[in-house]
């Protein structure tokens, strides 16, 4: 029976990768909405995938924040750093969220677990246009932004639009706009509708969605039935090179449609 289940999952992985027209899809059993340990299992899959995909020598790995990424970080192992020099950088700035799930923290945790290095980007996640411009010119920020631009790997999650808006302390007016524009998902500070159109963007410092095109390895990690619509929407704009690591909770809902 275990083999049957496994075969079923492998088939779903192929179907999902085909549906989204992306490089690869990995589905772990369970639903992260119901069992926290499922997120950890996705993290283990990320570790294994990186072990297979990362080239020998130097890699710069840009990472985003969030609970999923926190679990990914906890499941990376120091085997990854054998024959490799890994440098983790936050893909975007951010001090708006709780410390444990900020991209800076995730980068430092990943470095700790793998024995790699990390850099931090000490800029607020959401800044006004007036603050944004001069901040960008700061040499210390320019240096880290330069490193982010050289990254060959990016690991990120995808969130449900409205819950992400609340978590990022967006105003009621902004949330109203998101609802009017039917935003369903969020990744990298970009909100998109079910067709994958970007309907709102938080001006933030760091990796922009267009820059993903330069990355050799792109891992999107998101699971749970509650994220099915968000994942489906983001996959419409995700680079074809993306590997999606998800769970049955999300995958079954998407494949049912």
Q: Does 229 bind ligand G3H (CB under 6 A)?
A: no
Choosing from 38, 155, 165, 187, the residue that interacts with ligand G3H (CB under 6 A) is 187
Candidate ranges 5-13, 72-80, 154-162, 191-199; the one touching ligand G3H (CB under 6 A): 154-162
Mention every residue, 6+ apart, whose C-beta is less than 8 A from residue 165.
174, 175, 178, 183, 186, 191
Mention every residue, 6+ apart, whose C-beta is less than 8 A from residue 37.
30
Shortest distance in whole angstroms from residue 64 CB to ligand G3H: 6
Helix 248-256 × helix 2-20 angle, to 10°:
60
Q: Does 93 bind ligand G3H (CB under 6 A)?
A: no
Q: Which stretches of 123-180 are assigned E, i.e. beta strand?
A: 153-156, 159-160
Q: Name the residue nearer to ligand G3H (CB basis): 15 or 35.
A: 35
Q: Does 249 bind ligand G3H (CB under 6 A)?
A: no
Q: Does 125 bind ligand G3H (CB under 6 A)?
A: no
Q: Does 65 bind ligand G3H (CB under 6 A)?
A: yes
Q: Does 32 bind ligand G3H (CB under 6 A)?
A: no
Choosing from 64, 155, 184, 253, the residue that interacts with ligand G3H (CB under 6 A) is 64
Query: What CA dihedral angle connects 149, 154, 159 and 163, to 10 degrees?
Result: -50
Q: Does 186 bind ligand G3H (CB under 6 A)?
A: yes
How far, in Å, CA of 163 to CA of 68, rounded?
Answer: 14
Instruction: Yes or no: say if 160 and 142 are a contact pair by the CB < 8 Å rule.
Output: no
Interface with ligand G3H (CB under 6 A): 64-68, 157-159, 164, 186-187
């Amino acid at each position: 029976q275990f083999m049957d289940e496994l075969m079923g999952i492998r088939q779903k992985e192929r179907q999902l990768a085909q549906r989204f027209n992306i490089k690869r899809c990995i589905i772990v059993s369970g639903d992260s909405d119901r069992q926290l340990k499922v997120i950890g299992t996705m993290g283990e899959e990320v570790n294994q995938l990186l072990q297979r995909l990362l080239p020998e020598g130097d890699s710069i790995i840009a990472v985003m924040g969030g609970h999923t990424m926190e679990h990914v970080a906890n499941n990376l192992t120091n085997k990854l750093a054998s024959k490799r020099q890994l440098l983790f950088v936050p893909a975007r700035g951010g001090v708006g969220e709780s410390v444990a799930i900020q991209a800076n923290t995730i980068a430092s945790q990943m470095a700790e677990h793998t024995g790699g290095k990390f850099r931090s980007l000490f800029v607020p996640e959401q800044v006004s246009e007036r603050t944004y411009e001069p901040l960008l010119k700061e040499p210390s920020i320019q240096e880290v932004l330069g490193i982010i631009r050289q990254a060959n790997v990016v690991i990120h999650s995808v969130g449900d639009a409205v819950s992400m808006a609340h978590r990022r302390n967006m105003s009621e007016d902004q949330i109203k706009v998101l609802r009017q524009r039917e935003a369903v998902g969020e990744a990298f500070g970009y909100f998109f509708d079910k067709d994958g159109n970007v309907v709102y963007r938080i001006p933030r410092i760091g990796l922009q969605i267009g820059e993903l095109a330069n990355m050799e390895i792109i891992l999107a990690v998101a699971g749970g039935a509650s994220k099915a619509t968000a994942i489906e929407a983001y996959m419409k704009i995700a680079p074809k090179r993306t590997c999606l690591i998800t769970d049955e909770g999300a995958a079954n809902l998407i494949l049912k449609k």
